[in-house]
């Protein structure tokens, strides 16, 4: 009696554990997406700057980042981003919270983005140009007016800046990219600044060892590579699927081939990378170099990783995805449709192009979108066949032949990996890495949602027939 009772209690608890494991997966997903969205998008919100006076009498200004506990219960310490690497020699400052005497958020503390030395945080004292010497509010107005102009139209001017600790420095206007007084902004202005920041992230190139600027070349490289890849993978994938489903004799061999293709989707991407490096880069690329570019050897042209080889490798990697999706679409079309077309006198080609392929188009599209989503997020094979940390030239430009297939290119996923693990100042780059990760996830998820809706739509359209 007692064992039955105990067993039935357990029987009642198991479903709850199962439900909890589903809830846990959802919770983890929500946490991941939430973290990326808040940290990635939050980075562009103008952060308030604090001016802090320490017990030692020292004053510093900076953006508070986070707090951690000091060892042995000595309270908390807070990390400030203080900028001013040229005058202080460092950009970060840990301050024990107990040491802080007073904290203020004055409106006149500004943050400048500059090219050689990174951010400046402090006060603007004077704006000196050929037109005269401006101070205080007038100087700040003039600086903003100048920064609104395109860089070539700005006047030659020098800013006199003062850090919170009282050191003064001269900054030529040509090195200033952006200025902001975050404490003085109203909510509306902050929203505007957030939009601008987001836009600059999407449209500018990286600066200062990837700790500043944007990811435009990486977006461009990713998109270009994915387009090239889909141009290669779509015809071949569709041809192979039609061959397997419509033309090949449906025997044991075809079944084996089908299983083989399906399994290739499970082969690790790095293996494709190895294949791409060995065959495309060293094999075909090396031979091309010997035949056509022998005058530039030993520096390789096609014999090193590049856009073409990366696209080809990823096309091979995503081929199974397209084949499987297209084949599923083809298999769903009832044989009666084919037989009807044949009975009315159509040849096989006519039956395929007029009846079967139009019906299978959404399935093909689904396959291509899934392939693109997979390729956009894949990094490992690209490490072998052709991404660069910082590609000086975009592979598409005005010089003949316009599209430079041999060039290295930047990729969002690799940019993320490289900044996170090989950067000089990872601490400073983390907000940008979050933003890049959020962008990458957004792209991949949007593509996947499109594919899911397409498939859903397709199934509903066909009703119970398929």
Partner 1 sequence: MSAFRRFASPLDLRRFKDRLATGLITAGGITVLVAILAIGIFLVGETLPLLRLPETLALAKLSPLLFGTFKAALAALLFAVPVALGAAIYSALFMSPRLRSRIKPTMEMMEAVPGVVIGFIAGLVLAPWVERHLLSTLMVIVWLPVSAALIGVLWYRLGHRLRRRLSLASAGLWLVPWLGLMMALALWLAPSLEQLWFGNDLPLWLERHWGLDYTTRNTLIVGIAMGFAVIPSLYSLADDALADVPAALLEGAQALGASRWQSLWRVALPCAGPGLFAALMIGIGRAVGETMIVLMTSANMALVSANPFEGLRSVAAAIAIELPEAAPGSLTYHVLILAALVLFLFTFIVNTLAELVRQRLRRRYRLLGGK
How many Cβ atoms sit within 10 Å of the Cβ of residue 89? 7
Only one residue has tokens 């919170």, namely 164
Find the shortest distance in angstroms from Cβ 190 to partner 1: 26
Asked whether 329 and 360 are in contact (CB, 8 A), the reply is yes
Least distance (Å) between residue 325 CB and partner 1: 14
| Contacts (CB under 8 A) with partner 1, residues 192-251 | 235-237, 239-240, 242-244, 246-248
Report the residue from 420, 425, 454, 462 that binds partner 1 according to the rule CB under 8 A: 420
CA distance 162 to 125: 7
By beta-carbon proximity to partner 1, the closer residue of 242 and 308 is 242
Of the residues 103, 105, 144, 263, which one makes contact with partner 1 according to CB under 8 A: 263
| Whole-angstrom Cα Rg for the chain | 30
End-to-end CA gap in the chain: 52
User: Per rule CB under 8 A, is residue 28 in the interface with partner 1?
Assistant: yes
Residue 413 CB burial class (10 angstroms; 0-12, 13-18, ≥19): buried
Residue 378 C-beta: closest distance to partner 1, Å: 7
The residue from 41, 426, 454, 466 that contacts partner 1 (CB under 8 A) is 426
Q: Which of 46, 62, 413, 431 binds partner 1 (CB under 8 A)?
A: 413
Dihedral sign for Cα 329, 335, 336, 341, please: positive
Three-state secondary-structure class, residue 306: coil
In angstroms, rounded to a whole number, what is the distance separating the alpha carbons of residues 275 and 384? 10
* Contact positions with partner 1 (CB under 8 A) in 271-310: 271-275, 277-279, 282
CB of 313 to partner 1, least distance (A): 11
Is 21 a binding residue for partner 1 by CB under 8 A? The answer is yes
Burial of 385 (0-12, 13-18, 19+ CB in 10 A): buried
SS3 75: coil
Smallest distance, Å, CB 128 to partner 1? 43
The site map against partner 1 for 338-377 (x = CB under 8 A) is ---------xxxx-x--------------------x--xx
| Long-range CB pairs of 372-375, under 8 A, 24+ apart, other chains included | 372/226, 372/229, 372/230, 372/318, 372/447, 373/444, 373/447, 373/448, 373/451, 374/317, 374/318, 374/321, 375/225, 375/226, 375/229, 375/314, 375/317, 375/318
Please work out, in degrees rounded to the nearest 5, the angle formed at the alpha carbon of residue 67 by the alpha carbons of 441 and 164. 105
Q: How far is the CB of 406 from partner 1 (least distance, A)?
A: 17
**Within 13 A of 88's CA, how many CA atoms are on the CB side?**
23
378 belongs to the binding site for partner 1 (CB under 8 A): yes
Residue range at the interface with partner 1 (CB under 8 A); choices 85-93, 101-109, 217-225, 433-441 = 433-441
Q: Is the dihedral of CA 132, 133, 134, 139 positive or negative?
A: positive
- Which residues inside 145-184 make contact with partner 1, applying CB under 8 A? none
Site for partner 1 in 94-133 (CB under 8 A): none
> Nearer Cβ to partner 1, position 121 or 388?
388
Of 97, 101, 138, 267, the one binding partner 1 (CB under 8 A) is 267
Closest to partner 1 by CB, 157 vs 384, is: 384
- Of the two residues 174 and 361, which places its CB atom closer to partner 1 in the complex? 361
Q: Which of 52, 164, 261, 371 binds partner 1 (CB under 8 A)?
A: 261
Nearer to partner 1, 107 or 339 (CB): 339
């Amino acid at each position: 009696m007692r064992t039955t009772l105990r067993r039935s209690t357990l029987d009642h608890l198991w479903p709850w554990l199962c439900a909890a494991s589903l809830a846990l997966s959802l919770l983890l997903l929500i946490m991941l997406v939430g973290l990326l969205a808040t940290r990635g998008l939050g980075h562009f919100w103008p952060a308030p700057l604090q001016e802090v006076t320490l017990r030692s009498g020292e004053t510093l200004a900076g953006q508070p980042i986070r707090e951690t506990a000091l060892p042995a219960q000595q309270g908390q310490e807070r990390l400030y981003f203080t900028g001013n690497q040229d005058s202080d020699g460092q950009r970060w400052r840990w301050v024990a919270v107990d040491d802080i005497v007073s904290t203020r958020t004055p409106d006149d503390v500004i943050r400048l983005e500059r090219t050689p030395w990174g951010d400046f945080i402090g006060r603007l004292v004077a704006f000196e140009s050929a037109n005269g010497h401006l101070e205080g509010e007038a100087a700040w107005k003039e600086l903003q007016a100048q920064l609104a102009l395109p860089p070539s139209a700005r006047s030659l001017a020098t800013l006199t800046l003062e850090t919170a600790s009282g050191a003064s420095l001269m900054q030529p206007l040509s090195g200033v990219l952006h200025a902001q007084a975050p404490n003085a902004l109203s909510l509306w202005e902050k929203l505007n600044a957030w939009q601008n920041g987001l836009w600059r992230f999407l449209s500018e190139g990286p600066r200062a060892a990837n700790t500043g600027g944007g990811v435009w070349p990486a977006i461009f490289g990713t998109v270009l590579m994915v387009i090239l890849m889909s141009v290669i993978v779509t015809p071949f994938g569709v041809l192979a699927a039609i061959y397997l489903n419509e033309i090949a004799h449906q025997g044991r061999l075809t079944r084996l081939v089908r299983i083989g293709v399906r399994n290739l989707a499970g082969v690790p991407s790095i293996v494709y990378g190895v294949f791409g490096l060995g065959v495309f880069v060293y094999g075909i690329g090396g031979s091309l170099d010997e035949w056509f570019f022998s005058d530039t050897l030993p520096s390789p042209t096609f014999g090193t990783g590049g856009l073409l080889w990366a696209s080809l490798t990823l096309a091979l990697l995503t081929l199974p995805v397209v084949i499987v999706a297209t084949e599923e679409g083809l298999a769903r079309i009832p044989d009666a449709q084919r037989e009807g077309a044949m009975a009315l006198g159509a040849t096989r080609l006519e039956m395929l192009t007029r009846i079967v392929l139009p019906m299978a188009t959404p399935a093909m599209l689904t396959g291509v979108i899934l392939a693109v989503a997979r390729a956009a997020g894949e990094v490992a094979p690209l490490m072998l066949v052709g991404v660069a940390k910082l590609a000086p030239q975009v592979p598409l430009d005005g010089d003949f032949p316009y599209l430079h297939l041999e060039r290295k290119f930047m990729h969002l996923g690799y940019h993320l990996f490289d900044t996170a693990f090989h950067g000089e100042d990872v601490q400073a780059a983390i907000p940008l890495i979050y933003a890049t990760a959020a962008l990458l996830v957004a792209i991949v998820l949007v593509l996947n949602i499109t594919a899911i809706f397409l498939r859903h739509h397709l199934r509903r359209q066909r009703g119970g027939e398929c």
